[in-house]
């Protein structure tokens, strides 16, 4: 899957006691109702964020992962995470419309009535 948007926030790399590392990024999607989406980059993928800056437009390859956890009280909870594995900068402002925009014609638009010369009134109604 892919997500496209503007980099809203870049966080520092987190290193845990086990040696595990992750770095998070928040992008703001470009749609009718923009969404801030948090994406994790793990271990060897952290370096993909080194050349990014807040405000840049990006397309990110993602995987959605889920986990099940049972609390000490026996209650089961489910967690989702979005993990990034590819980052591509988008240089066309990344603003793809959610609806198709009408194409502009290269020829000038005429305001003349194309039916002005038709004197035939042979309409069936």
DSSP string, 32-88: SS--EEEEEEEGGGGGGGTT--TT-EEEEEEEEEEEEEE-TTS-EEEEEEEEEEEEE
Look up the pTM and report it.
Answer: 0.68
**pLDDT tens figures, 48-84:** 999 999 999 999 999 999 999 999 999 999 999 999 9
Token readout for 5 is 């948007």
In a domain, 18, yes or no: yes
**pLDDT tens figures, 19-58:** 999 999 999 999 999 999 999 999 999 999 999 999 999 9
Structural domain harbouring 84:
2-89
Token readout for 85 is 């594995």
Domain count, the chain: 1
In a domain, 72, yes or no: yes
In a domain, 11, yes or no: yes
Token readout for 33 is 């109702």
In a domain, 59, yes or no: yes
In a domain, 123, yes or no: no
List the CATH number of the domain containing 48. Answer: 2.40.50.140
């Amino acid at each position: 899957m892919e997500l496209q948007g503007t980099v809203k926030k870049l966080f520092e790399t987190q290193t845990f006691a086990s040696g595990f590392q992750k770095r998070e990024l928040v992008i703001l999607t470009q749609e009718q109702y923009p969404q801030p989406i948090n994406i994790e980059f793990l271990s060897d993928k952290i370096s993909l964020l080194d050349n990014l800056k807040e405000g840049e437009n990006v397309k990110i390859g993602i995987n959605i992962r889920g986990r099940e956890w049972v609390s000490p009280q026996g209650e089961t909870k489910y967690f989702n995470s979005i993990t990034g594995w590819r980052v591509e900068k988008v240089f066309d402002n990344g603003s793809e419309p959610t609806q198709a925009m009408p194409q502009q014609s290269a020829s000038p638009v005429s305001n003349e009535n194309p039916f002005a010369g038709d004197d035939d009134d042979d309409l069936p109604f």
